[in-house]
Chains A and B, each alone.
Chain A
Amino acid sequence: MLAKRIIPCLDVNAGRVVKGVNFLGLRDAGDPIEIAKRYNDQGADELTFLDITASSDERDLILHVIEAVADQVFIPLTVGGGVRKVDDIRRLLNAGADKVGINTAAITNPDLVREAAERFGCQAIVVAVDAKAVNADNSRWEIFTHGGRRATGIDAVEWAVKMADYGAGEILLTSMDRDGTKAGFNLALTRAVADAVSVPVIASGGVGNLQHLVDGVTQGKADAVLAASIFHFGEYTVRQAKEAMREAGIEVRL
């Protein structure tokens, strides 16, 4: 049976892995190549790099990071952050990325997703959907941009379905109302999107312990779970996360 995937996420700023500490700012967490190799050795099923570099003259640094990682790590690599046009995707794929995540640009220009999927294949295109609840009983969710500050009025479930129709091979779903809280995924949101789309869904945002990963799969019906801080801070290894999932009866690659 197909294994559920565990995907560590690395935030990369100007070629270095960074992590936010209690929303107080970014701290250098090390060399992305070393960290990628460590997660690979621990049995990560894929790696995701989120490029958060703000200054445009440092944006190409991510390409060098991906090239170096792809030389040494033989598992799938996804890169997202700042992807605006087809040429951005081409450059990331040429650097060694297997998949490229499109986020805000999919909202401003949905045809980019269609064009990219036709050009590079659906398997290479991940659409990132950042959503949070817009009603009190957590049953309606909208897409938010700008780190969760700006509402778009777009229904998250309908949007995910549309993006899969446009050619997204996978949906990376982030619970924006949970991101950074360590309170676990928004499971109702995850379940609603996973049930609605025909392509795999990666759950993201809010993981604080290993039970949250289990819940994302068993209750949220996610095909993969993504986490950053629980791995970066050394609280858990990827291996421990997989063992916890296996104990809960989930198929994993160990």
Chain B
Amino acid sequence: MKVAIIDYGMGNLHSVLKSVQVVSDSGTEVFLTSDPDRVVKADKVVFPGQGAMPDCMRELRAHGLAEAVLETTRSKPFFGICVGAQLLFEHSAEGDTAGLGIFPGNVLRFGHDLHDAHGERLKVPHMGWNRVFQTRPHPLFAGIEDGERFYFVHSYHFAPDDSALSLAQSEYPERFSCIVGRNNIFATQFHTEKSHRAGLQMMKNFLAWDGCV
């Protein structure tokens, strides 16, 4: 099995690569690539992203990878991470950026002057370990407790128009969608590669997944 991690020049993907390799078996080849041809020929695709969405979108197009992403989301098990998940939506408020439009909905900024239920101020970026509440069953949740903590770092979050796309939610302080998916596509706002055992378990589930729900 070939697993392509799409590298479009936005930051270091060493941890993403290692986190997939550490849960893969000897018959699995995991590689970073910016070659659209290698992406579409892979069996599974991981689509990471960090930094600002306008830069990510620009670099994705500059590397000629936008078409490859669109094509693989139509057929292969596909895992988007952080900005790689946000890019699947139609539009982001970050730099008024058009996304790939695979999912209807927008990427919005957390509000200013947020407070929790006890009146404590909440900072932005939303940075740290927060609970992920599963709202729909999914094969990638195998072995992961409902409410498990994952590592987040972001100031913008996606808001799908169709609630059926939302697979899990977190709270900051309002509930927001933190995993979206449809058929063969699964995408998280948090960083599986920085989420210790739970993140590795989710990636392991992805490697075992046939893309059907």
Interface residues of A, Cβ cutoff 8 Å to B: 1-5, 40, 45, 67, 70-72, 74-76, 93-96, 98, 120-124, 169-170, 195, 197-201, 221, 223-224, 253
Contacts and interface: CB of A to CB of B under 8 A. Distances in A.
Contact of A121 (B52, B120, B195, B200): B52
Contacts of A3: 128-130, 149
A95 B125 CA distance: 24
13 contacts: A1-B116, A5-B128, A67-B14, A70-B15, A71-B18, A74-B15, A74-B194, A76-B194, A96-B12, A121-B51, A123-B127, A195-B121, A223-B123
Contacts of B121: 195, 221
A151 B121 CA distance: 31
Contacts of A200: 123, 125, 127-128
Contacts of A4: 128
Nearest to B149: A253
A74 B17 CA distance: 11
B210 interface: no
A91 to B, nearest CB: 10
B11 interface: yes
A40 B196 contact: yes
B12 A2 contact: no
By secondary structure, the B interface counts as: mixed
Contacts of A74: 15, 18-19, 22, 193-196, 199-200
A40 B196 CA distance: 8
Contact of A45 (B50, B126, B128, B172): B128
A3 B180 CA distance: 23
Interface in B15-61: 15, 18-19, 22, 50-52
A220 B169 CA distance: 30
A121 B149 CA distance: 24
B151 A75 contact: yes
Nearest to A5: B128
A202 to B, nearest CB: 10
A2 B50 contact: no
Contacts of A120: 11, 51
Contacts of A94: 12, 14
A122 B199 contact: no
Contacts of B194: 74-76, 98
A94 to B, nearest CB: 5
What are the 6 A-B residue pairs with the smallest beta carbon separation, nearest first?
A121-B51, A253-B129, A3-B129, A253-B149, A200-B123, A123-B153
Contacts of A170: 127
